[in-house]
Structure formats: structure tokens, C-alpha cells
Amino acid sequence: MVPLALKWPLASMSFLLSSLLTLLAVSAPSWCQNSDSTSPKASNGSPFPWNKMRLPEYVIPAHYDLMIHANLSTLTFWGTTEIEVTASQPTSAIILHSYNLQISKATLRKGAGQGPSEEPLRVLEYPPHEQVALLALEPLLVGLPYTVVIDYAGNLSETFHGFYKSTYRTKKGEVRVLASTQFEPIAARMAFPCFDEPAFKASFSIKIRREPRHVAISNMPLVKSVTIAKGLIEDHFDVTVKMSTYLVAFIISDFESVSKMTKSGVKVSVYAVPDKINQADYALDAAVTLLEFYEDYFSIPYPLPKQDLAAIPDFESGAMENWGLTTYRESALLFDVEKSSASSKLGITMTVSHELAHQKNHSFKALNDLWLNEGFAKFMEFVSVSVTHPELKVEDYFFGKCFNAMEVDALNSSHPVSTPVENPAQIREMFDEVSYEKGACILNMLREYLSADTFKSGIVQYLQKYSYKNTRNEDLWNSMASHWRQETVDVKAMMNTWTLQKGFPLITITVRGRNVHMKQEHYMKGSNSAPETGYLWHVPLTFITSKSDSVQRFLLKTKTDVLILPEAVEWIKFNVGMNGYYIVHYEDDGWDSLTGLLKTTHTAISSNDRASLINNAFQLVSIGKLSIEKALDLTLYLKHETEIMPVFQGLDELIPMYKLMEKRDMIEVETQFKAFLIRLLRSLIDRQSWTDDGSVSERMLRSQLLLLACVRKYQPCVQRAEGYFRKWKESNGNMSLPIDVTLAVFAVGAQNTDGWDFLLSKYQSSLSSTEKSQIEFALCVSQNKEKLQWLLDQSFKGDIIKTQEFPHILTLIGRNPVGYPLAWQFLRENWNKLVQKFELGSSAIAQMVMGTTNQFSTRTQLAEVKGFFHSLEENGSQLRCVQQTIETIEENIRWMDKNFDKIRMWLQHGKPELL
């Protein structure tokens, strides 16, 4: 699954659409505990025979026969589930999951399939754990197959999970309804009673009843369709491979599709609403190419005869890897050749790659090691797309994922990538930056250390050995080690330091002649001295020097060590290409030497190395290891920079400074700082053409620079954007704007009432996801409070603007200097409704919490945030995103108290005049 906040390669570094005014918050996890220590009582008052959140392991499912009939008019469904089970110890109680389902009948048959005798099962429900107990008259015999038959009914969910309702409006204005599924992590229980934990793998035979005007699709190909009655058809789908319940999927809709075959004969299809099926071709071609790549890379044939990709009109996250039927937000799959942006093409390719990588590694899913599943798929995005779509240059963006993860991982409220989970909120909130981005970064670090060939051999052996099984961390490390010939390195011991400990190391480098002294400590924000956690990592260090650009390596396993250079050097740069998950501090004149290098010949080191220096410098300011003046001095070289990653990293460090000032009464310094930023990048801004020419990176850089310039009221940009908007409006929106400048043009046009209203009218009729997101952004940067309040109300209501957009809109308005009090108020007043719609512990809730509060920087705001979330008790007070935002606000206060006057002095008397 791809949480929306993680979907786009650059949005996760906070600097795509929302970077310039919004700096989107990261997804973060909840750690709520709600298990009941007393003896549980079923809903009818009877004793419930199981008191744990996780299911017992002595009843095991082998196969499910599902029949589901959904009525898209009444928005209800009913079904029959037959589950073949065996018991490993005698028991009279079969415990499984069911949530918001009305079970009308349950029976037990001896043997698999159709047996002669059925005995009734007594049904007990325990809603706090979303469990039911089916009680037999006599204990099940060990090893004997039984079939449990359950008849039930339910309502299509009004949320974004389970078996839920989605709608769309046709070009003619007709509203049409469809039903789709989203079961990860624990929502299959909302569609059928089941053993809803990933370790309980089974095969599935699925039958769907539908009206003739609809189409049903599921994980496997259609075997046959049977007419049950007039106006009612039952579709029978082939039996699945053995898999977890969260991977089951089915959709009933009027979608249309386009298809192609891979070289090995796998049919790939993209499904979408009829009005948008013409936008499916890019994703279809990408999916075919990527599936062929994965078959070759893993040396494992794709195990299913088909792979469907479906664009769902209402979808909370970015995408979902259901086996054989991956589902997506429309914006993550559909590409409009005339209107979609370069970043959209990059994002779609990466998202499709991520979900198809999952099709090879569904063995990775044990709850404690979710990161193996998601981190691996995130990592494989870059491995695959760098080969299949080299023009996208995805390798340029990888290290930004690591910086994104480090922002979260530097807080005391972080967690190891491998973490035990129990309750639903804990499970949902493991889908965060640490599981995805850090997981990918440490896998990349291991590949760089072992070599790409060794890493690949280990992965292939692992997948071949553990296909369809549940696995643990060490199974992967052992597979890697078997291909690694250096006996002095223990791969498992090395990687345990990265997976079983939270956080990451700060490496301090002190050069004394030819001697390089290295020291590692736990980097953690919140104090100027490193906390004594006692953590040590096995750190695969890399470095280059002024005398040699060949990469040198050193494995640091102790707190301190020394390496000896062949000769003295003018400068040394560690963590080459940012392939390691650590940051570096250079003591004495180390930073001065590197700042001087950037000032004189910045191209002596790679653009990734330049960006990592910018990032590391400001991370060190946060813990008092480097002065803010030195970090700002380093950024002055950016006036000569032309590459996307250092420029974006500079924006990622500098923009938050004035965003903090916007939420205090600091208008004078805030204005000076914004002016400094434009002066710093003015030469690069002036060189941007208002066209769609150039590579993907050049186009993305152009789009962001012009947006920054226009939003910061740089007049040459504003005047040109106003001219474009006026002509576009006069053409009733029919004039074709250069895609790369559209965001800047819309942002300027939305600053007056007529322009804002016109953009909204175009939003409602647009069929392009890129255009809609550009208009959405522009509407949210308005300085009109009434307009902003209307956006909050309407996007939550879901009629004019879909509710799936609400978390993003709330965050955008939360970053708006005029709108942030409205966003914070809306979150507080509607908390219970938000949790009901988006679920406690979801990445959407975390995005909203962080997006509305984590740029606060006053003690009054901190007290307000603490007071509100404390009052929620079990309905949110223990969410990890709440802990994170409180830590972040405390850090903001410390940072501003320490650095604001220094910034003011630096601006008034210091280096900016050199620009």
C-alpha cells in the first residue's frame, strides 16, 4: 500500500506542490492501547472465550469459498462464507474476525466441501476486539478438516476501507455508484467473517452477484458467468494462490478497460470510469514493462494469469497491492497527455512499480515486520524504474526519501522498523515513513555495501525459498549472508542494529593530519547533548577527499575508531551519494573547508553530495553542533546551483524558517528572509522558460521555481502569470497553458474573487487529476478567510470536492498564514467525525494532525495542542503523531528562541548583501 503522503517521489521531501507554502506533514503512527484486562463479555452478556487482541493459532484456515451479492441501489450486501479449517488442538470455540456484519446463521460440517451433516454453531460477538466466537457442541478433532459456513449481511461502508461505496459524476452530470474493497491492513473483516491476520494464509474461491449493466472483477480471472434470475448474474472467479485476507479484492462497477499481454503471456488491464479510460494508456504500458522487468530481476515467473490495475474514484491512500487486482487513486494511475505534469508521470510510474513489486513479495507480511513488505517495495521502485524508465532519473530522488524518514526518526517518539503490534490503531499506524522510507534506505545501504549482484542473489534466494510463507527479518539477512564472501562481516548482526533500534547515528569526523577520527552517537532532536541511549550501529561509511574521488569504505562497529589517509587532504566528504542512513558532522574547520569548496567549485562533488551537505548542516543546527550562521553561509553557494536536488533541499531547509515566523508576529524579519530567498535564486528563476521543454527534472525544477517566485510576489513572474491567466480565463479555460507553469498561473489567478470562482467552476468540470490538484492548490493559497472556510466545509462534506481530498486541503490551509487558525479550529471541532471517516491510526489522520499543528512555535500554541489532545483520552491522546507534533512544536520553540535573533542579525548585517 502507498499512503498518499508517500506517493509522489518529491512530495515526500516536502517540496512538490505543497512545498512552497505547505511543507506537507509526514504520516506517523498511533500507539494506542485499548486491550481489556478483565474477562470479556460478549455483546449478549455471555462470557467470551478469548481475551486477546490477536487470534489463537490453533484453528487454521486452508480455503475460503466466498459468495457476495451487493445491491448498489440500497447500498447493502449479503453473503455466504465457507471456510475449510483444521484444529491443532481440541477446541469447541472457533475465534475469527467480523466487524459491522450481521451474522444470521453459522454451521459446521465435518470434512471439506459439501458434507452430509451440518451442526449449528452458537455465535458470540465481542465488538471491542472485532471478533466472533463460533461455539460447537463438541470439540473439533485435531487434524480433521471441517467446513465453517456463515450467512451474513452488511451495509456498504461510507468510509474508505472494507467493502465501500464510491461514486463519480459523468460528463452529463449523472452520479453513478460502484462498490470496491480496501482490506489492508485489517478491514477484510468488514466484508466477510475471516481470520483477518496476515499469518493466516489460505486460497480463495470468489463468486460475485451483480446486475447485467455492471462488471465484476476480482483477484483472479473470470471462469464463468451464470444467470441466477432475471437481472441477476453470478460471476465465478478462479481459485487464488495461498494468500492473506488483506490481499483479497473485488469491484462491482461500470468501468471500462484496456489490455495488453506481457512477453510471458500475462494479461495486463487498466480499468477506469468510461469518461477517463482514454487516460489509461501510459499506466498500461508502464505496467507491462515493469512486470517484465520484475520477472527477469527475480527469476520468478509472475504467479497469476492476469494483472489488473483499477482507478477508484474514492480512495484514501495512493494505491493498494491486492494480488492480481491492484487498486489506485485516479491521480496515481491516470495520465492525461495534454494536462498531466512531469511530476505526475514520475509519480504514476513509481506507484505502479511499487504495487507490482509487491506482487513478487507477498511472503513478506508478518505484522511485526511490515517494513520488509513496504520498505522492500519502496526500494524496488528505484531499482526497477531506473532501468525501465531511465529518462525519469529516479535515482536522483532516492536520498530525499531518507531525509524525509530522518525527520520522523530523529524524534524520541520514533520506533524501530521492526516493532511488535497488537491493536488495530497500532497496526494501521505502522504504515509510516519509518516502515516505508527508512526501510527502503537501509536496504539501499545494504545493497551498496554488499554490491548490487550479491544483494540481488540474496533476494532471489529468499523469494524462492519463502514463497507463500510467513517470514522474519533474519530469513532475509541469512539469504544475503549466504552470497557474501567476507566472513568478517555478520550481515544479520549488522542489519539488526538498523532494524531493532530506533533512530540513526550521527558520525563526527575530526581530521588530524592524515588521521581521521570517527565517533558515532545517537542523533536525536530535543537537546543539545546526545542522549545516552547506548545504541551502536554497524555503519558502512564511505568517503572521498580532495586528493581522490574514488570511493573509500570503512565499517564502523565501535563508538570510536581511527583511519589513516595516505596523505593529508584539504577536505573530506563522508556518506558519498547519501547512500548511508546517517548524518555527518565535521569538527574544527571541516565545515569551513566544505563551504569553501561549494563556493569555488561546487561541481567537484555530486549534486546528491551537495544536497546532503545542505541537509546535514541544518540538522546539526537543531542539536547545537553547528551555528545557524554557518549553515546559512553554506546556502549562499546556491546562487550558482542549477541541479534540482540541491535547490529543492535548500528550499526544504529555508522555507520552514519563514513558515515558523508567519505564525508569530515577526513580519519585518519574515519579509526580509523571503526577499533573501528570492535574491538567492533570482538568477535561476530568471533563466526559466515558460514552456514544457527539457528533462523531467528540469521541468519539475521549473514548475517549483516559478511557483515560488509568483507566490513570493516576484513581479516579473507575477506579471507574466497574470497575463497567462487573463488569456486562459477569456478562452473559458480552453486555451492550452504550458503544463509546467500552470501551477504558478493558477496560484496568481486565485488571489482575486473572480479568478478564484472561475477556477472552482473549472475544477468541477475537469477530468484531469493534475489539473484538479493544481486548482485545488491555488484555491487553498487564497488570502480570503471565507473562501478557505468554504473549502474546508465542502471538501469534508464531499459533494463538490471529494472527501478523499480533505486531508490535503486541511494541510494546505494549515500552512496558509491566513488560514492556519481555521484549519486548527476545524480539526478540533470535527475530530470525532474525522476519526469515524478516516479511522484512528490512519496515515490520513496523522497527516491532518501534523499538517495543522507542526509549524506552531509559541508556548501558547503548544499548550493549546497539548490540552486538546489530552482531552481526547482513548480517542486520540496516545496517537504517536500527537507525540510527534508535540515534540516538533517544542523543538520549534527551542529553535526559534535560540536562532531567531541570529537570523535577524545575519540578514541585516551579514552575507546576503553579497548576493
Q: Which residues belong to the active site? A: 355
Return the C-alpha cell found at 780. 487553498
CB distance 710 to 718 below 8 Å: yes
Give the relative orientation of helices 820-829 and 831-838 as an angle to the nearest 10 degrees. Answer: 80
Q: Which residues contact 239 (CB under 8 A, 6 or more apart)?
A: 203, 204, 205, 220
Please enumerate in sequence order all residues whose Cβ is within 8 A of that of 760, keeping only pairs 6 or more positions apart, or say none. 775, 779
Q: Which three cell numbers stand for residue 278?
A: 482514454
Q: What is the rounded CA–CA span in Å between residue 500 and residue 601?
A: 41
Which residues partner with 97 through β-bridges? 131, 194
Rounded distance, CA 312 to CA 319, Å?
Answer: 9
Cell of 633: 553561509
- Phi/psi at 172 (5° precision): -85, 0
772, 778, 789: which is closest to 756 by C-alpha?
778
629: left (phi over 0), alpha (psi -120 to 50) or beta: alpha
Chain CA centroid to CA 692, Å: 28
Measured between alpha carbons, how far apart are the two ends of the chain, in Å? 45
The one-letter amino acid code at 233 reads I
Amino acid at 96: L
Q: Beginning with the edge strand found earlier in the chain, give each strand of the sheet holding 548-556 in spatial order.
A: 548-556, 539-545, 572-574
Helices (H), 62-111: none
Query: Which residue type does 725 have?
Result: F
Secondary structure (3-state) at 440: helix
Give the burial class of 285: count Cβ atoms within 10 A of its Cβ; 0-12 exposed, 13-18 middle, 19 or more buried: middle
Angle at 247 between CA 243 and CA 252, to 5 degrees: 130
Q: Which residue from 795, 837, 796 is spatially nearest to 157, judged by alpha carbons?
A: 837
How far apart CA 537 and CA 494 sit, in angstroms, is: 7
In single-letter form, the type of residue at position 893 comes to: I
Coarse DSSP helix, strand, coil percentages of the chain, rounded to the nearest 5 percent: 45, 20, 30
DSSP characters over 703-770: HHHHHHHHHTT-HHHHHHHHHHHHHHHHTTT-S---HHHHHHHHHHHTTSHHHHHHHHHHHHH---HH
Rounded Cα distance between 383 and 444, Å, is 9
Residue located via cell numbers 485476507: 245
- Residue at 275: amino acid letter: D
Give the single-character DSSP code of 301.
-
Residue 552's H or E segment, with its range, is strand 548-556
Tell me the C-alpha distance between 59 and 184, whole Å. Answer: 22
Q: CA dist 583 to 296, 437, 595, 669, Å?
A: 35, 16, 17, 30
Residue 470, SS3 per DSSP: coil
Query: What whole-number distance in Å separates Cα of residue 615 and Cα of residue 400?
Result: 10
Strand, coil or helix: 154: strand
Cα 178 from Cα 254, distance rounded (Å): 7
Helices (H) and strands (E) in the chain, counts: 28, 27
- In a 3-state reduction of DSSP, which class is residue 108? strand
Radius of gyration of the chain (CA): 28
